[in-house]
Amino acid sequence: MCSIFSAVHKETLQRLFPTAKLDEPLRRYTAWKIGGPADALLEPSSAGELVQAVKTALEHGIPVTILGGGTNVLILDGGIRGLTVRLAKALTDVTVTGTSVIADAGVLYPVLANTTAGKGLAGLEFATGIPGTVGGAVYMNAGAYGSETREVLVWADVYKPESGQVERLPNAGLELSYRRSALHDRPGWTVLRAAYALVPGEAGELKARIKEFRAQRMTGSPNRPSCGSTFKRPEGDYPGRVIEAAGLKGTRVGQIEVSPIHANYFVNHGGGTARDVLKLIEYSRETVRDKLGIKLELEVRILGEP
Task: Identify whether 2 is part of a domain.
Answer: no
The model carries a pTM of: 0.89
Cα–Cα distance for residue pair 39/78, rounded to 1 Å: 10
Q: Are residues 27 and 98 in the same domain?
A: no
Q: Are residues 196 and 153 in the same domain?
A: yes
Cα–Cα distance for residue pair 269/49, rounded to 1 Å: 37
pLDDT digits (tens, 9 = 90+) for 84-125: 999 987 899 999 999 999 999 999 999 999 999 999 999 999
Kind of pairing between the strands at 80-86 and 37-42: parallel
Task: Identify whether 196 is part of a domain.
Answer: yes
Owning domain of residue 228: 222-303
Q: Which helix (H) or strand (E) holds 1?
A: none
Q: Are residues 140 and 203 in the same domain?
A: yes
Please, which pLDDT band fits residue 204 given cuts at 50, 70 and 90? very high
299 in catalytic set: yes
Higher-scoring residue by pLDDT: 4, 142: 142
Q: Are residues 179 and 281 in the same domain?
A: no
Number of domains making up the chain: 3
95 Cβ contact list (under 8 Å, min separation 6): 101, 102, 103
Query: What mean pLDDT do residues 168-196 have?
Result: 94
Q: Which helix (H) or strand (E) holds 252?
A: strand 252-253
pLDDT on residue 3? 47
Cα–Cα distance for residue pair 227/33, rounded to 1 Å: 9
Helix residue spans in 100-233 (DSSP H): 109-118, 134-140, 203-220
229 in catalytic set: yes
Q: Provide, for the chain, the percentages of residues in helix, strand and coil under a 3-state DSSP scheme, each rounded to the nearest 5.
A: 35, 25, 40
pLDDT on residue 101? 98
pLDDT on residue 188? 84
| Contact predicate 127/201, CB 8 Å | no
Query: What mean pLDDT do residues 8-13 have?
Result: 84
Q: Are residues 197 and 230 in the same domain?
A: no
Q: Are residues 130 and 205 in the same domain?
A: yes
DSSP state of 251: -
Q: Are residues 228 and 207 in the same domain?
A: no
Task: Identify whether 53 is part of a domain.
Answer: yes
52 Cβ contact list (under 8 Å, min separation 6): none
CATH number at residue 45: 3.30.43.10
Q: Are residues 202 and 98 in the same domain?
A: yes
| Residue where one domain finishes, among candidates 37, 57, 86 | 86
| Residue where one domain finishes, among candidates 219, 241, 273 | 219
pLDDT on residue 5? 55
> Of the listed 3, 181, 229, 259, which one is catalytic?
229
Query: What mean pLDDT do residues 266-290 have?
Result: 98
6 in catalytic set: no
> Of the listed 24, 125, 148, 299, which one is catalytic?
299
Cα–Cα distance for residue pair 138/158, rounded to 1 Å: 10
pLDDT on residue 6? 58
Q: Mean of the per-residue pLDDT values for the chain?
A: 93
Please, which pLDDT band fits residue 216 given cuts at 50, 70 and 90? confident
Beta bridge partners of 40: 22, 83
Cα–Cα distance for residue pair 79/14, rounded to 1 Å: 18
Q: What is the Cα 256 distance to its own chain's centre?
A: 20
Query: What mean pLDDT do residues 188-208 have?
Result: 96
Give the end-to-end CA distance of the chain in Å, rounded to a whole number: 8
Q: Are residues 179 and 234 in the same domain?
A: no
Q: Are residues 116 and 57 in the same domain?
A: no
Q: Are residues 99 and 173 in the same domain?
A: yes
Output phi, psi for 19, to 5 deg. -95, 0
> Of the listed 27, 150, 179, 209, which one is catalytic?
179
215 Cβ contact list (under 8 Å, min separation 6): none
Please, which pLDDT band fits residue 1 given cuts at 50, 70 and 90? very low
DSSP state of 203: H
For 301, counting Cβ atoms within 10 Å of its Cβ (0-12 exposed, 13-18 middle, 19+ buried), the class is: middle
Please, which pLDDT band fits residue 258 given cuts at 50, 70 and 90? very high
Q: Are residues 102 and 210 in the same domain?
A: yes
| Residue where one domain finishes, among candidates 22, 54, 86 | 86
Cα–Cα distance for residue pair 252/299, rounded to 1 Å: 20
Kind of pairing between the strands at 64-67 and 73-75: unpaired
